[in-house]
Structure 1
């Protein structure tokens, strides 16, 4: 099972490499990739594309780049339509970074050093390289501000093993960075020539997404008046210089834990006030010979299922899954649910319109990180099935042979416009399609399991899929099956 989160076609040229790097970086940021991973993605794509332009006998005029998930693994895939570069795999495997600096010739070595796990293959339409993205345990992001270069270097040495750091010698530079980036805590000097720590904190609190950001102050000033002002401003902690590494780590850990506890308590109380949306709306049996089967767990979750009969008599069945966890994801999911419900009140709407309008709405509000996985099944009166997939795991279809339905559009809301596409087939007796959200099936299918399901009746296929051991107990689970 794979899940396409991002897919985009680019014109391949030296002049367009900067644009490719920019787009990949911006969209990876929306998907909450770590800064280090984003930099490596931009580097690898740039170097690989430059090698295509230089080494392919027939150079590609375009490439398709995608981010995909398969279970716990994430992948970066680059497809081109040029001639095969058969030596690539061997050259990449053998590439090593030089011991001394050189001016050129390091492209393949940089790629291998960044993403050593890759697979290259030639296809009918061109070539494909697939990099497995390394999974790094996310580290808390800390901003350190100190006008003393030596003090800044010392603090970085103390914390670099445990935290992701952003270092600044001026508070104005840190403030500019904070307006556009995530942060978990600020560690700052109190007395700085440009602005003191207290005023710096007030300015940061005016940034909407940093109003509750914890601050820890460091200072050699332990005068009574200073400590009194610090206490009155409600700072999270005040440390006197000099400070040891163990003490600093202990204080930061305590402040972060206390802050997380307060946020969790607040979210728990607020979540109780949110009325969960109806999980199934207007669900009714399909016309014979069709049958619709639905299972969800838990009963109150972020996934939702919707069904509407359109003006031409066709049926539209929708499965949605809000990306993310917690209160924000639940609130965003309720907003998307309501918006889609409103669109479906128009019985003449077609799936292409639904996806396009929703994509525009999400794109215009993407500063809030509101991304949703959405899948639609369109069933016509003459028993034709169209599957529209925007970021959901690949459904499985059972006809003459079982297979995953792989063409997907990627998540809605990443780009201003989206090319809506679908997979189509004619349904016949014994055929079935099964669609699911994260948590039910993740990673590659076990060898032979699809063949085992093929031998079952369609109803038993649904039951077997639903009774599988959950792949992720944290995710909501939904399963929709359309059976003929």
Structure 2
């Protein structure tokens, strides 16, 4: 059901700046024909133009072939740019510098493209190729960003040898988001503003060696507790003693195998996260209290029902309702993660929602409200490493529902013709300033139902990877809503889901049902 559909492929031999212009016009026409919102289309076109121009101007050697591909898979649009020129060394490291280290400052012109990629496409992937072996360099950009990628732990590699750095990145990239740096000073600038989940560092490096790097991290409480591992080719006692005195977490000798590297990384990240959650439990007892599901039972001729169940204490799902200029607006949101930390951030999202909705200058449309909420999260440094998806539904008494979405699963509209997805995309909240969010209207006829939900409803066992099976289960749940009141249908659906998910790894689950 979610197989990728190829919308555009453009190829050129001996590309020039004129080729970049022609490709951009072709991409513009394809995006318009496909109906992608204007702001998202502009982001994709500008990212392509910046990257392709830099490839032609700075690739050594410049590329002889350039390929652009645009595909769509479900709610996600992916732009892939391939070239056979000289690869960009340390692409992810320089993108991280432009995105986080200089986030609030002006950049030189050659850094604007990297900042655009880092902010608008946080799950971008760049793989340097080997032109001599016929392997192209590949940059992949996806809108809206995939939460499964953004949620991966963030690992920083500091290694001055480019071959070693590329090998380490290759070994880690399937399980983690990785930024690699050739100099410790670069990494220090990034982790001070965007703390990593783990740092892997060489010892012998120019300018600042690994020991000096660790000492600098120890001076700041925000970076001192980041799990830290030395990777070195030296196993002498003096080096080991110096490393031990700096309170590092582990010491791995090169060359390190992938199983040992992954096992060490996962162990240290898991331990650090468990410690943070225990601190939340000790200091923020109120965060364990669930946010009450807040929806009215009826708005005019529309009945509403909502329910939520958490996989662990706390949980990051929420449903809240406010009245905005005479319209009832319901927010359903999912703070990615589990437990007390997710619940803590969910309280904050609910507070920001009420603040922007009840303000004197509150936008009247749900897309405007979503932009205002996203801006509030973007400008709060606390949420810099928090992934939040959401939907807002403005419910009119005559059965017209205006829906805006921020990286959230598609709602399902159950009509006399059966269940159908309401395809509406949008970026996750808080990724950048002044983000646009598309909106759609759904008209509920008598007997119709509209289901909004968090992804825990469909992610059961192996169905986390099998989207077709997940959609089949979702449509089966939706059909159960027919011929019942929203409250009765929702209760049966949640009971059925609880039985289906028994014995599997569970996520928080929240669902909202509207019906006439």
Length-normalised TM-score, structure 1: 0.62
Q: What SS does the corresponding residue of 1:370 show, helix, strand or coil?
A: coil
Q: Is the 8 A contact 1:185 1:256 kept in 2?
A: no
Q: In structure 1, what is the equivalent of residue 308 of structure 2?
A: 296
Residue 478 of structure 1: SS of its match in structure 2? strand
Q: Answer 1 or 2: which has greater helix percent.
A: 2
Q: Which residue of 1 aligns with 2:277?
A: 267
What is the rounded CA distance, in whole Å, between the counterparts of 2:481 and 2:282 in structure 1?
A: 43
Q: Is the 8 A contact 1:430 1:457 kept in 2?
A: no
SS in 1 for 2:455: coil
2:398 aligned residue: 382
The whole-number CA distance in structure 1 between the counterparts of 2:151 and 2:320 is 36
Where in structure 2 are the equivalents of 1:45-84 lying within 5 Å? 47-48=67-68, 75-77=76-78
| 8 Å Cα contact 1:320/1:373 also seen in 2 | yes
* 1:360 paired residue number: 375
For structure 2, list consecutive stretches of 5 or more residues without a partner in the other structure. Answer: 3-35, 54-62, 81-129, 141-145, 460-466
1:465 match: 493
- The aligned counterpart of 1:143 is 157
Match of 2:436 among 410, 415, 419: 419
Partners in 2 of 1:141 and 1:197 — Cα distance? 16
2:49 to 4, 12, 18: 18
Question: Structure 1's 172 and 417: CA in aligned 2 closer, same or farther, altered over 3 A?
Answer: closer
Alpha-carbon displacement from aligned partner over 1:52-99 (angstroms, at most 9, x marks no partner): xxxxxxxxxxx8x87856xxxxx54469xxxxxxxxxxxxxxxxxxx9
The residue that corresponds to 1:53 in the other structure is none
Deviation at 1:248? 11
Residues 177-222 of structure 1: CA distance to partner in whole angstroms, max 9, x if unpaired?
7567846232432x66644443221123457763323133744653
**Aligned residue number for residue 400 of structure 1:** 416
1:474 matches 2:506: yes
1:305 counterpart = 2:332: no
8 A Cα contact 2:315 2:339, kept in partner: no
Contact 1:311 1:347 in 2 (8 A): no
Instruction: Tell me what 1:87 maps to.
Output: none
Larger Rg: 1
Which residue pairs with 1:391 in the alignment?
A: 407
Distance 1:188 1:326, change over 3 A: farther
Alignment of 1:74-473 (within 5 A): 75-77=76-78, 101=132, 141=155, 143-145=157-159, 162-163=171-172, 171-172=184-185, 175=188, 182=196, 184-189=198-203, 194-206=207-219, 210-213=223-226, 214-216=228-230, 218=232, 219=234, 222-223=237-238, 230-237=243-250, 253=263, 257=267, 260-274=270-284, 275-276=286-287, 279-280=291-292, 283-287=295-299, 289-298=301-310, 300-312=314-326, 314-325=327-338, 328-346=341-359, 349=362, 350-352=364-366, 353-365=368-380, 368-401=384-417, 402-442=419-459, 443-444=467-468, 445-446=471-472, 449=476, 452-453=479-480, 456-459=483-486, 461-466=489-494, 467-468=496-497, 469-470=500-501, 473=505
Provide the rounded CA distance (Å) in 2 between the counterparts of 1:255 and 1:391: 29
Deviation at 1:304, TM superposition (A): 1.1
Distance 1:310 1:142 in 2: 44
Which residue number corresponds to residue 483 of structure 1?
515
Residues 289-334 of structure 1, C-alpha deviation per residue, up to 9 Å, x if partnerless? 432222111284211111234453x322221211344555433322
**Contact kept in structure 1, 2:401 and 2:441, CA below 8 Å:** yes
Quote the Cα distance in structure 2 between the aligned partners of 1:319 and 1:13: 28
Name the SS for the 1:446 alignment partner. helix
Higher relative contact order (CA 8 A, sep 6+): 1
Using the TM superposition, give the Cα deviation of residue 386 of structure 1 relative to its aligned residue in structure 2, in angstroms: 1.9
For the residue of structure 1 that corresponds to 2:333, the secondary structure is: strand
Range moving further from structure 2, 7-16 or 414-423: 7-16
Give the aligned partner of residue 40 of structure 2.
9
Change (3 A) 1:268 1:100: closer
Match of 1:88 in 2: none
1:264 CA drift (Å): 1.0
Q: Is the Cα–Cα contact under 8 Å of residues 458 and 483 in structure 1 kept in the other structure?
A: yes
Cα separation, 2, equivalents of 1:420 and 1:246 = 45
1:317–1:296: structure 2 CA closer, same or farther, 3 Å change rule?
same
* Structure 1 counterpart of 2:11: none
Distance 1:203 1:346 in 2: 43
| Structure 2 CA distance for aligned equivalents of residues 358 and 136 of structure 1 | 20
Q: Distance in 2 between matches of 1:139 and 1:370?
A: 12
Q: Does the C-alpha gap of structure 1 residues 78 and 205 become closer, same or farther in structure 2, counting only changes over 3 Å?
A: same
Aligned equivalents of 1:145 and 1:100: distance in 2? 23
> What secondary structure is seen at the aligned counterpart in 1 of 2:355?
helix
Equivalences for residues 31-50 of structure 1 within 5 A: 47-48=67-68
Q: Once superposed, what is the RMSD of the aligned Cα atoms?
A: 5.0
Task: State how far apart, in whole Å, the 2-side matches of 1:311 and 1:134 are.
Answer: 36
Secondary structure, in 3 states, of the residue corresponding to 1:319? strand
The separation in 2 between residues aligned to 1:440 and 1:279, in whole angstroms, is 19
